[in-house]
Homo-oligomer: A and B are copies of this chain.
Amino acid sequence: MLSQKTRYTIRALQHLADRWRQGPVRLDAIAEAQNIPRKFLTVILSEMVREGLVISHRGREGGYELALDPVDVRYGDIIRLTRGSLALVPCAARNAHEHCTNCLPEAECRLRGLMLTLRDEMAAMLDRMSLADPIEVEAPFAEEREPA
């Protein structure tokens, strides 16, 4: 699962991407439009500024804007940034590799083999899509109803 924080981050960045080159967007505007707790969003956006993905302006008329063209911000990058890695298992991370605890030697671990392949497939897709892509949304699933 992506953490709530990662999800907020992605939606905040999408919000900024949609307003690319339209001047700074205030934190409160993002929080309200995206339904993200205000205080939590300050933490998230400050982090994005530190990471260089977002530029901030203080004072009147201040706010946030994307530091890069949306087309250059790929979802894979965002997730790697907030989560450390795309992999579903530490030993399958290609960037932030770590050994798993209580595992087999990596050279023998089929779970690792499988998870590496999966990671690469996920990466291929997530690194193909950027904040500039119009993602088609899908209708919500029919609501499951409580058994009467």
Contact = CB atoms under 8 A, between A and B. Distances in A.
Interface of A: 1-2, 4, 7-8, 10-11, 14, 34-37, 75, 87-90, 94, 97, 100-118, 121-122, 125-126, 129, 135-141, 144
B97 A141 contact: yes
Contact of A14 (B107, B111, B136): B111
Given A109-B137, A110-B137, 15 more contacts: A4-B101, A7-B111, A11-B103, A11-B104, A11-B109, A11-B111, A35-B102, A35-B104, A75-B114, A94-B141, A97-B144, A106-B140, A113-B135, A118-B125, A122-B122
B117 A125 contact: yes
Contacts of A121: 121-122, 125
A103 to B, nearest CB: 6
Given A103-B35, A111-B11, A126 B118 contact: yes
Contacts of A102: 4, 8, 35-37
A101 to B, nearest CB: 7
B122 A118 contact: yes
A14 B11 CA distance: 39
Contacts of A109: 11, 137
Residue of A10, A104, A108, A140 with highest tally of chain B CB at under 10 A: A140
